[in-house]
Structure 1
Amino acid sequence: MAKTQLNVRVDEATADAARERALQRGVSMNRYIEELVLKDAGEVGQTFVEAAADFMKQYERVFAEEFGLEGGGAGGRAASTTRDGQPGT
């Protein structure tokens, strides 16, 4: 993979901390920064997936009612309800 050069400006304390952490890990500064960015991007993606799962869990019944879907979710079949939210038959 081709590499692109980035120039960043940080205060001296941040630069010293980055150098020290890279040294402790036994990697170059370039590799250390690359790992930080990749880790951060992965965490953001995981946060999105978790938020989407929570959303679907909260609104599972609404989607089932709107689109006439049966079941859904880990709990098995969704309870039948009418459009006004009352239990169905």
Structure 2
Amino acid sequence: MEKSHDRKLHASKGMGWALALVIAGIFTIDFSLFSEDHVPYWAYALKFFALFFTLFTVSRFFSGSTNVKKMISLSVVSAIFIAASVAVFIMM
């Protein structure tokens, strides 16, 4: 019983992935998306995933997560994805 309580407590720390998805979606959508002058749709997808990875990683960092390997892997995935997104925008 104590382990299930610890899991629930650990799961409630920081922003959950669902909340990170919602916030990333809110910050991704802008008014130009609904007009004829907008960037390609794939750019919105890249922006969404970059925001999601960043929000989730920062949330886990500030929640005091003790799993160092998980934090490092989340940070590396976020950094690689954001760097790849920037490289795609520069090459286009």
TM-score, structure 2 normalization: 0.31
Structure with the higher helix share, 1 or 2: 2
Q: Greater relative contact order (Cα 8 A, min sep 6): structure 1 or 2?
A: 2
TM norm structure 1: 0.32
Answer with 1 or 2: which has the greater Rg: 1
